[in-house]
Amino acid sequence: METVVLYPSPGMGHLIALVELGKLILHHHPSFSLHILIVLPSYYTGSTAAYIRHISATVPSITFHYLPPISLELDSFPSTASVTFEVLHRSNPHVRRILESISLSATISAIVIDMFCTCALPIAAELNIPTYYFMPSGACDLALLLHFPTLHNATTKSFRDMNTILHVPGIPPLPSSDLSDPMLYRNSMDYESLLNFAQNIPNSAGIIVNTFESLETKPLNAIREGKCNPGGHTPPVFPVGPLFASEDRHDCLNWLDKQPSKSVVFLCFGSLGLFSAAQLKEIAVGLERSGQRFLWVVRSPPSDDKSKRYLPPPEPDLDTLLPAGFLDRTKDRGLVLKSWAPQVAVLNHESVGGFVTHCGWNSVMEAVWAAVPMVTWPLYAEQKMNRVVLVKELKVALRMEVADDDFVAAEEVERRLRELMESEKGREIRKVVEEKSVEARAAMREGGSSIAAIGKLVELWKRA
């Protein structure tokens, strides 16, 4: 029996994609035994408990190991990312202990980690366990990260102060302002952690990416040809996506059943994306004026109280957050959900014809799978780069114009929704995403590129 350890960082997006990879491996190669290390975050990262319970109950070949909680003085950290890096760093002794204890009864063929878990690389190396990176984001992000040490060496300035266009092999020209926050500020802790990760990618035995071959041919080729980290070593790359979890039936699907085919715009911004109260009102006005049918997930605005920023947000009070009478006036063509929606089921529903998204990569993969054209509204992490890729390279999305202060006016929401649902340009991107959806499904069939990539991984692990 082959034993593989999966070690995702806390956060719903990272966890689900990696666990779904585990399920796929088991589906095609039932002889594997998987161990998943769970770091209990000391702050809110989206609720993972129910999902883990479900997997534990239904997939017996997966064993979960909970690492002891690490308590930190959260307010002394500048960002959630820096908290995550620190929690994982301090979890190292526990990771070692668990790996050693698993090794007593089995040879661990591989450990799969994500970028936040780079601090576990030396432990795995000492224990002679090959380490694979898992990228929950796409090949474009991987190309950028592989190129990051080169970009870093080419300047002594912060990218924040450069206002330039970055040329990264395999991806469209990228305005430096579209880099993620950790990459923008050269002197920050997060910058250093990310650079450390980027420098360590070549030390892994392979890189597993949640994408598929024909979607990101350009960045995948550039990476494999070694163009992204010139002079360095590039480990083999395994595109194994799209990876996503499917959900149970939910009431909103009954509402969708009653709407015409491809008529509904779905607006949802991930498990961590929050808007101010003013922005929520503006979206509502834009939605109302657009005349489109919509399914909108509204979350409470971020708390002004800084000590609450790591807590789960409360249920939104729609009556005070939305304009007076909005729900009543739009009740025949709109549905507002509080905090959460079964996104995969919604996107795959026949009535859904458009998706306004924060461009988180999991959401992008789900929309491509479901053949739903997108409007981009990036909020954090590598999402602004994803926007460039979706709009300029893949041509599966329209760009919502977001002002420098991150605000989007009602007129822009209205204009973009009409463009998506009613214009020739909207029809063009719909056609492209439908083609990509067909390719995504082909990649995940027996003999398809993603399933073949999993097969190659498994062969390597069997020989280890």
Ligand X SMILES: *[C@@H]1O[C@H](CO)[C@@H](O)[C@H](O)[C@H]1NC(C)=O
* Residues of the shown chain interacting with ligand X in the complex, contacts defined by CB under 6 A: 149-150, 153
Q: Which is nearer to ligand X, 156 or 320 (CB)?
A: 156
Q: Which is nearer to ligand X, 35 or 147 (CB)?
A: 147
DSSP of 381-440: TTHHHHHHIIIIII--EEEP---TTS---HHHHHHHHHHHHHSHHHHHHHHHHHHHHHHH
Q: Which is nearer to ligand X, 150 or 200 (CB)?
A: 150
What residues have CB less than 8 Å from 228, skipping those under 6 apart?
142, 143, 146, 147, 168, 169, 170, 222, 234
State the nearest-atom distance from the C-beta of 149 to ligand X, in Å.
4
- For residue 55, give both structure tokens: 């997997």
State the nearest-atom distance from the C-beta of 200 to ligand X, in Å.
12
State the nearest-atom distance from the C-beta of 59 to ligand X, in Å.
41
State the nearest-atom distance from the C-beta of 224 to ligand X, in Å.
18
SS3 379: coil
Alpha-carbon Rg for the chain, nearest whole angstrom, is 22
State the nearest-atom distance from the C-beta of 153 to ligand X, in Å.
4
Residues in the chain: 464
Q: Which is nearer to ligand X, 194 or 365 (CB)?
A: 194
Provide the 10 A C-beta neighbour count for residue 60: 9
Q: Which ranges of 225-263 would DSSP assign to H, the alpha helix?
A: 251-257
Q: Which is nearer to ligand X, 97 or 167 (CB)?
A: 167
State the nearest-atom distance from the C-beta of 113 to ligand X, in Å.
22
For the chain, the maximum distance between any two Cα atoms, rounded to a whole number of angstroms, is: 65
Q: Which is nearer to ligand X, 175 or 202 (CB)?
A: 202
What is the C-alpha separation between 214 and 225, in angstroms, rounded? 17
